[in-house]
């Protein structure tokens, strides 16, 4: 079993840390205050700011989220991290995933 991670794909921990950092910056809070169970609403991120942050995350990871299925008021930080990981996995060629 090969446990190497492709250099083009960030590890799950890297994804989580980057997403939390981006959320903390947008919410203007210490990253330590952002937990997987936090919602953007809990962190004081308004709707327009949340949309801007989603665009920033898409750009940073070179991904696109589906237009539906996201509730920025009730979805958690972990949900957002999972969505980034899923989008990254979806764009990875199957030959890299099988490696």
How many distinct structural domains can be found in the chain?
A: 1
Q: 7 lies in a domain?
A: no
Average pLDDT of 9-38?
89
Whole-angstrom distance, CA of residue 62 vs CA of residue 87? 9
CATH number at residue 47: 1.10.1200.10
What's the pLDDT score for residue 78?
A: 94
Q: 16 lies in a domain?
A: yes
Burial class (CB in 10 A: 0-12, 13-18, 19+), 22: buried
Q: 4 lies in a domain?
A: no
Q: 1 lies in a domain?
A: no
Q: 68 lies in a domain?
A: yes
Residue 76 pairs with which residues in a beta bridge? Answer: 39
What's the pLDDT score for residue 95?
A: 45
Q: 41 lies in a domain?
A: yes
| Phi, psi of 90, rounded to the nearest 5 degrees | -65, -30
Instruction: Name the residue range of residue 45's domain.
Output: 12-91
pLDDT tens-digit map of 49-61: 988 999 999 999 9
Q: Flag whether the pTM goes above 0.95.
A: no
Q: 25 lies in a domain?
A: yes
Q: 86 lies in a domain?
A: yes
Whole-angstrom distance, CA of residue 79 vs CA of residue 99? 27
């Amino acid at each position: 079993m090969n446990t190497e991670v492709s250099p083009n794909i960030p590890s799950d921990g890297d994804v989580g840390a980057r997403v939390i950092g981006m959320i903390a910056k947008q919410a203007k809070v210490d990253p330590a205050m952002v937990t997987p169970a936090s919602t953007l609403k809990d962190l004081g991120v308004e709707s327009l700011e949340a949309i801007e942050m989603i665009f920033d995350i898409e750009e940073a990871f070179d991904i696109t989220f589906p237009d539906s299925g996201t509730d920025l008021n009730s979805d958690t930080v972990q949900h957002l991290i999972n969505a980034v990981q899923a989008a990254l996995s979806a764009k990875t060629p199957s030959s890299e995933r099988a490696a």
